[in-house]
Amino acid sequence: MPLGERAGDKSESRYCGIETEFNDDMPHVLAFNLSSGGFDFIVAPLMDPTYRPSLLQKDSLGSGVLPFAASDLVLSPAQWSSHVVGKISSWIDLDSEDETLRMDSETTLKQEIAWATHLSLQACLLPAPKGTSIANYARCVNQILQGLSNMQLWLRIPLVKPDDDCKDAKSDTLVDSWEIWNSFRVLCEHHSQLSIALDILSTLPSANSLGRWFGESVRAAIVNTDSFLTNARGYPCLSKRHQKLVTAFFNHSIQIIISGKSVHNIPKACVDSASYHDHSVADSQKHPLRPYLDYVAYLYQRMDPLPEQERFELGYRDFLQSPLQPLMDNLEAQTYETFEKDAVKYIQYQRAVCKALLDRVPDEKASSITTVLMVVGAGRGPLVRASLQAAEETGRKLKVFAVEKNPNAVVTLHSLVKLEGWEDTVTIVSSDMRYWTAPEKADILVSELLGSFGDNELSPECLDGAQRFLKQDGISIPSSYTSFLQPVTASKLYNDVKAHKDIVHFETAYVVKMHNVARLAPTQPVFTFTHPKRSNMESNLRYKKLQFMIPNDTGSALVHGFAGYFDATLYKDVHLGIEPSTATPNMFSWFAIFFPLRTPICVTPDSPLEVHFWRCCASTKVWYEWCVSSPSSSPIHNSNGRSYWVGL
């Protein structure tokens, strides 16, 4: 049964598994661990651990029956599929110097995977590499992946990163386990069915080092009973850092698997009292690891419910979308409706218009001066409404021109004006702002033409065209905006792009609600645009070279691409944006933008990541080009806008 109910969370992390020993009696193993223990699935060895192909004479198996745990008939196909993760024999060592062991390992791995496929298991747990030499292991796994249908292979990786602050007593290696994982997945060509099961030890690396894994394809976290502490009542519990890590796993749809033997003696005096939640200690007497499951469930149930905005955005998590082309295409009613629901954005615009009106019209002239305000790109009228509410709030008189090029939205605008009785105040103009000839100059120009990367929906070009009907001392809202960039590990996004098997998708920028990503360095500003423009000679072409440093305690990391954001100054101190450190709370109109790299680049803390970004302009289109020049060079992506551009 799931760990608990949490509003909005339907992810796999609600289910907790248990690692079991080899047992011929699979129905008993399931009944004991699921019915008595309360676990949701088992990670069970498929093959008798004493089996070695080389010890058998060719005919000694008689009928050729391999020593698997049980016939496929002892459980229903649904039980095998839903409740069993196959555990590949842990003795296998495909990079052993001993040729017999190596050959035995290869034969056994293939036999076990074939059996797991026959059982329709959803996943198999591969043993951790025995050393740093992994090429043959990766070769065999890669061969298997080529013919695998839907099954996932989870490579067991211990969560180890030795450094000055954190030495794990159990670790006899001084290798960062991320390096082993990275070599393995690169050898397997970043295959989307190869994932990670992290072995959580009693000592954890630094927060930055842990953060890398949230951009990787981690499917499970195996927590050994040795990692648990004992609380005042004698029950198992985890350190504060382990608790925080497990909670982060829940938030990233990573399942917990309890492993090992019970190392806690539950006090007999507590048998009649309640455990962490509804299960009594009597339950824990039936299954020795029940108290550990209860504690994990307690951590899950203690989490805050997902906020409403997060629940709304759940379906968009790590889903790649092409950015809007609002200049080239007319938006549909559904798109307008989604954006109009973002109350926070329009509150900020209303605040900005209020301040601009108060600055332009002193109190003593409030009744005699009428401010001319133009909403360029009025859509279905939310900015018109926000501006009129600002006029009412400040007691200022307003004359509004609502300029909109989408003829369908203009129909809605006319209805809105009639419905609200704005006929004397609002003039609707059905025209592209770049080509309209205004009957008078505006005091205030208001627009919402910003994209996830600030200028990527052609706000600069549109406002250049509209600037001519702004008074010399007129105010533009927004008055400026800056794009920001940061390198990210984003294994899922990379694999989704790679699935298209072409360069075009690697040279496209995507709008995406980033979730399973690791942000590897603080953001840096890229391009800034200011309105009104100081000079007509100023170009909208831009170029920026950026240098990112990975924090020292992170260790190496793989950069799959770059996350892009923006921050806009609407007017004076009123801002709007999605740059993580200054993001406007509870605003959902924009997700981040993702610029992929065709080949991911490995970075280390001692070598800066040097990135180049260009904003290029031609008569009919605007596009970005990007590349990395250090620590290794990438091709220049999207040369001449061959794959992705925004149409003028």
Q: Are 643 and 504 in contact (CB under 8 A)?
A: yes
Neighbours of 625 (CB within 10 A): 19
Secondary structure string (H, E, C) spanning 87-115: ECCCCCCCCCCCHHHHHHHHHHHHHHHHH
Q: Do residues 114 and 47 lie in contact, with contact meaning Cβ atoms separated by under 8 Å?
A: no
**CB of 276 within 8 A of CB of 62?**
no
The first and second tokens of residue 416, run together, are: 């809105």
How far apart, in Å, are the Cα atoms of 347 and each of 37, 118, 350, 575, 586? 52, 58, 5, 11, 12
What 3-state class would DSSP assign to 349? helix
Q: At what angle do helices 177-187 and 135-146 cross, to 10 degrees?
A: 50
Task: Assess contact for 46 and 86: CB atoms under 8 A.
Answer: yes
Using DSSP's 3-state secondary structure scheme, residue 418 falls into helix
Structure token pair of residue 80: 């095998």
Q: Report which residue type is found at 215.
A: G
Write out the DSSP string of 419-468: HHT-TTTEEEEES-TTT---SS-EEEEE----BTTBSTT-HHHHHHHHGG
Q: How many CB atoms lie within 10 A of CB 221?
A: 23
Nearest in space to 485 (alpha carbons), one of 542, 570, 547: 547
Phi, then psi, of 595 in degrees rounded to 5: -105, 110
Question: How many alpha carbons fall within 13 Å on the CB side of residue 256?
Answer: 27
Catalytic positions are 448, 457
Cβ count within 10 A of residue 473: 8
Q: Which two tokens stand for residue 106?
A: 């290869």
Burial tier of 581 (Cβ tally within 10 Å: 0-12, 13-18, 19+): exposed
Q: What is the Cα–Cα distance from 533 to 80, expressed in whole angstroms?
A: 66
Other C-beta atoms closer than 10 Å to the C-beta of 435 total: 8
Residue type, position 92, single letter = I
Two tokens at 214?
Answer: 């949230």
**Integer CA distances (angstroms), 547 to 217, 499, 637, in order:** 27, 30, 18
Phi and psi at residue 452, to the nearest 5°? -60, -30
C-alpha dihedral, 425 to 431 to 434 to 439, nearest 10°: -40
| Residue 373 and residue 400 in contact, taking contact as beta carbons nearer than 8 Å | yes
CA atoms within 13 A on the CB side of 537: 0
Q: At 622, which amino acid appears?
A: V
Contact between residue 236 and residue 228 where contact means Cβ atoms under 8 Å apart: yes
Shortest CA distance to 155 belongs to which of 219, 92, 213, 66? 219
| Rounded CA separation 647/643 (Å) | 12
Residue 565 CA, distance from chain mean position: 14
Dihedral angle of Cα 289, 294, 300, 305, to the nearest 10 degrees = 160
Show the tokens assigned to 138. Answer: 């990766």
